[in-house]
Structures are given as C-alpha cells and as structure tokens.
C-alpha cells in the first residue's frame, strides 16, 4: 500500500501541474477578454500562479483522501495518505509552479483546505452550486480576482 502511494505521489504531480497550467491559461484568457475594452490585460503573476498550484495540489490530495476514506479502513487510509502526502510534496517542490515555501507551509494550508471542503458533496444542489467542485472553482476565481480586481467570472454564476 505504501509503495502504491509513493508511486502515485511521485508520478501524478506532472498531471497536477498540467491541470494548473490549463486553469491559468483559462483565467488569463478570461482576464484578456474582459479587459479588452478597459485596459491592457496583465497575465497572472508568478505568486498567483504558485497559489493556484497549491490549490490544485490540495484539491487532488483531497480527492485522493475521499477515495481512500471510501475504500480503506481507518488505519490503512492513514498509512496510504501519509505516504501519498509526503511523496507528493517532495515531487511538487520540484515543479516550476511551486514556490520555496510549499513544503514548509503546505501541511497547514492543506489542513485548512480539507476542513473547509470535507463535508461538501461533489455536486450539492441543482447545477452543482454549493458542492465541492463549485466551491473549488470559486476559490480559483477568487485568487485570480485578488490580483486583477473583480472579474465577471465564468466559474461563478
């Protein structure tokens, strides 16, 4: 079980980083589209991209925890998730979107993320509003908004 968690943790960060890159491209396209009439568009800065990477990393780990929680017993879940978490953070620290503090501060960040999201269902209400995916997309949009001012979000209805 530990071997599987370590394999996953060392290999899935490339997909997490690719997901983050796609989200950044989408947010930058939204910023560009909405600012055409008012001012020249500025892309998301490196700090914002690192925050987005940490959010996506936390989301993937949270989804893995949900799967482990649903299929493994308490003891096995703890063992699997600890190995997954440690290996993932080690691999994530090498990613281009990671900042220098990701290993030092990510445990606390993830604990807050998990606490906020652990009781949410995948799609809570009609149209998915209020569910895990909805709340996660709001978080990503809010990060972009914090750098750029208010966007007309395509993520939040």
Per-residue pLDDT in tens (0 to 9) along the chain, 157 residues: 889 989 888 999 899 999 999 999 998 888 777 766 666 667 888 888 888 999 999 999 999 988 888 889 888 989 999 999 999 988 988 888 887 777 678 888 888 888 888 787 766 655 556 778 888 888 888 887 765 543 444 333 3
State the alpha helices, DSSP H only, in 12-127: 13-35, 46-71, 74-92, 102-117
Is position 79 within any domain? yes
Tell me the residue range of the domain where 59 lies. 2-148
Is position 33 within any domain? yes
Quick one: pLDDT at residue 137? 85
Is position 154 within any domain? no
**Number of other residues whose CB lies within 10 A of the CB of residue 73:** 10
Assess contact for 27 and 59: CB atoms under 8 A. no
Is position 84 within any domain? yes
Q: State how many domains the chain has.
A: 1
Quick one: pLDDT at residue 144? 79
Is position 143 within any domain? yes
The rounded distance, in Å, linking the Cα atoms of 125 and 109 is 27
Is position 156 within any domain? no
pTM: 0.81
Of 142, 93, 97, nearest to 116 by C-alpha is: 142
Is position 27 within any domain? yes
The rounded distance, in Å, linking the Cα atoms of 61 and 64 is 5
């Amino acid at each position: 079980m530990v071997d599987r968690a370590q394999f996953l943790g060392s290999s899935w960060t490339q997909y997490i980083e690719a997901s983050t890159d796609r989200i950044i491209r989408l947010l930058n396209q939204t910023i560009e589209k909405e600012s055409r009439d008012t001012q020249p568009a500025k892309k998301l800065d490196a700090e914002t991209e690192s925050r987005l990477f940490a959010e996506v990393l936390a989301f993937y780990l949270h989804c893995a925890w949900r799967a482990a929680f649903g299929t493994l017993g308490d003891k096995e879940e703890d063992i699997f998730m600890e190995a997954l978490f440690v290996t993932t953070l080690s691999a994530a620290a090498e990613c281009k979107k990671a900042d220098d503090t990701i290993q030092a501060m990510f445990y606390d960040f993830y604990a807050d993320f998990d606490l906020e999201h652990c009781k949410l269902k995948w799609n809570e209400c009609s149209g998915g509003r209020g569910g895990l995916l909805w709340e996660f997309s709001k978080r990503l949009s809010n990060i972009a908004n914090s750098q750029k001012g208010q966007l007309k979000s395509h993520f939040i209805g």
